Chains A and B, each alone.
Chain A
Amino acid sequence: NAGVTQTPKFQVLKTGQSMTLQCAQDMNHEYMSWYRQDPGMGLRLIHYSVGAGITDQGEVPNGYNVSRSTTEDFPLRLLSAAPSQTSVYFCASRTYRARGYTFGSGTRLTVV
């Protein structure tokens, strides 16, 4: 199915654990981004990429790493999970001239 695929959909981590949220798109989009959504905060940009091999920080990058080795994949790594990282994470992609982002279905992460 064409679109943005995020895995897993749900995850519970213990404080201090690390994990990778996967994001893949099959639309050959140049731009990919990771957002987190928290109640009353809207969506905040964590990291983004304008193409393979190029990444940059967004509004709330601390505690997260990304890489973009291929056009299709844009994994988000939590280095040492903290309760403050409990959130819903959305991956999104678009082409340079796209009308808007296509979002994945989200990953609900709980850190205990």
Chain B
Amino acid sequence: AQKVTQAQTEISVVEKEDVTLDCVYETRDTTYYLFWYKQPPSGELVFLIRRNSFDEQNEISGRYSWNFQKSTSSFNFTITASQVVDSAVYFCALSEAGNQFYFGTGTSLTVIP
């Protein structure tokens, strides 16, 4: 079974629209970490955020915000007023005890000017 599910394979939005990328995870651990990474067309992987399982506060960083809900095992990512530079593949990831990260299959976001 997938530990991290990103059901949205591809999303297209028009510039300045808001967009939410969904992430659902599965774990039996009580201590775990959730991550979002961005992969722009150039191919590198850029760390965006880490959340630990004990901190359900939503976080906002500029136009980016993250909504962590343990009750639904979700860690969704919202981009407000999207820009063309936001076009990328976004990966959600889960880290349980130990070293292994489990990545979702990614959501490809295209922002149309």
Among the 9-residue stretches A11-19, A75-83, A99-107, the one with 4 or more Cβ atoms under 8 Å from chain B is A99-107
Majority secondary structure, A binding face:
strand
* Shortest Cβ distance from residue B22 to the other chain A in the assembled complex, whole angstroms: 15
Question: Are A106 and B50 in contact, CB atoms less than 8 angstroms apart?
Answer: no
Which single residue of chain A is at the shortest CB-CB distance from B92? A42
Give, as a whole number of angstroms, the nearest-CB distance from B47 to chain A.
Answer: 4
Contact, CB under 8 Å: B105 / A42: yes
Q: Is the CB of B45 within 8 A of A99?
A: no
Q: Which residues of A contact B (CB under 8 A)?
A: 31, 33, 35, 40-45, 48, 50, 56, 58-59, 88, 90, 92, 99-103, 105-106
Please, what's the 1-or-0 string for B10-21, where 1 marks a CB less than 8 Å from any CB in chain A?
A: 000000000000
Contacts A42-B91, A42-B106, A43-B91 given; does A102 touch B101 at CB 8 Å: no
Q: Quick check: A102 and B47 within 8 Å, CB to CB?
A: yes
For residue A91, give the distance in angstroms from its CB to the closest CB of chain B: 11
Cβ A41 vs Cβ B105 within 8 A:
yes
Q: Which residues in chain B, 1-46, are within 8 Å of chain A measured between CB atoms?
A: 4, 6, 9, 35, 37, 43-45
Besides the contacts A92-B45, A100-B50, A101-B101, what 19 more A-B pairs have beta carbons closer than 8 Å?
Answer: A31-B99, A33-B101, A35-B103, A40-B105, A41-B105, A42-B6, A42-B106, A43-B103, A45-B100, A45-B101, A48-B99, A48-B100, A56-B99, A99-B50, A100-B35, A100-B37, A101-B47, A103-B37, A105-B43
